[in-house]
Amino acid sequence: MGLLLNGEETKRLKFRNLLSMDFEAWLPFHKDPRSTQYWEGLPKDPQTACREQFDRVFERYEKKLGGMNALILKSDGNLIGICGLLIQTVDGLQELEIGYSILPEYWKQGYATEAAVKCREYAFKNKLADSLISIIHVDNKPSQKVALNNGMHLDKTTIYKDNPVQIYRIRSPFTISQN
């Protein structure tokens, strides 16, 4: 079972692999300074930032390290965000992260939570990990709310890619405890 949710659906969303042709639809994310206001070290030029993000997504696909899926709104077929399962290394440990980003015009409509919950359910159903994390900047309250809505709890605060972050975690209900 792979880490990509290509072909999966929720009530309002379809998951598919991100494609090169999605670049222009995703570019407004990088043009809106609110989208990346919490994360240091990103290119200031929106075109460059978007290109680097797409390059990382496609590299993850190639190396089978999971990746962000395009989130397509069922009602009109528009790309509204990206979300997926990503293999990350945090404090020297390999973890499976649920990552999510939504275009600003679709914020505060529950799409990030809907997509993140689907990722959690998919990962645990397919026994991809005993626990899942979300890596969230300490000041990013909206993303922290999504993690809490996804049943996660604050596990720790650390530094990740030169940013102060909180690690939210949820453990699989299918984990068998050792006696």
pLDDT at 179: 41
Does residue 177 surpass a pLDDT of 80? Answer: no
Query: What whole-number distance in Å separates Cα of residue 39 and Cα of residue 17?
Result: 24
Q: What is the mean pLDDT of the chain?
A: 95
Question: What per-residue confidence (pLDDT) applies to 40?
Answer: 87
Examine residue 62 and state whether it is found in any structural domain, yes or no: yes
CATH number of the domain that 96 lies in?
A: 3.40.630.30
Asked if residue 63 is part of any domain, the answer here is yes
pLDDT of 60 strictly over 90 = yes
Whether residue 5 is contained in a domain is answered as no
pLDDT band at residue 33 under the 50/70/90 scheme:
very high
How crowded is the C-beta side of 49, counted as CA atoms within 13 Å?
19
Classify residue 99 by its DSSP letter: E
Task: Work out the average pLDDT over 46-65.
Answer: 96
Backbone angles phi, psi at 31, to 5 degrees: -80, -20
Q: How far apart are CA 179 and CA 176, in angstroms?
A: 9
The beta-strand segments (E) located in the chain are 13-17, 66-73, 79-90, 93-102, 131-137, 153-160, 163-171
Q: What angle, 0 to 180 degrees and rounded to 10, lies between the N-to-C axes of helices 141-149 and 111-125? A: 50
Go through 26-42 and write b for each residue having 16 or more CB atoms within 10 A of its CB, e for each that does not.
Answer: bbebbeeeebbebeeee
Q: Is 1 a domain residue?
A: no
Look at residue 1 in the predicted model and tell me its pLDDT: 58
Residue 177 lies in a domain: no
**Cβ–Cβ < 8 Å for 121, 154:** no
The parent domain of residue 154 ranges over 13-171
On whether residue 88 sits in a domain, the answer given is: yes
- Rounded Cα–Cα distance for residues 104 and 62 (Å): 29
Per-residue pLDDT of 108-148, as tens digits, reads 999 999 999 999 999 999 999 999 999 999 999 999 999 99
CA 80 – CA 106 distance, rounded (Å): 7
Residue that the structure tokens 């809106």 belong to:
32
Asked whether the beta carbons of 117 and 147 are under 8 A apart, the reply is: no
pLDDT of residue 68: 97
Residue 179 lies in a domain: no
Residue 164 resides in a domain: yes
Q: Domain total for the chain?
A: 1
Tokens coding 58: 């496609």
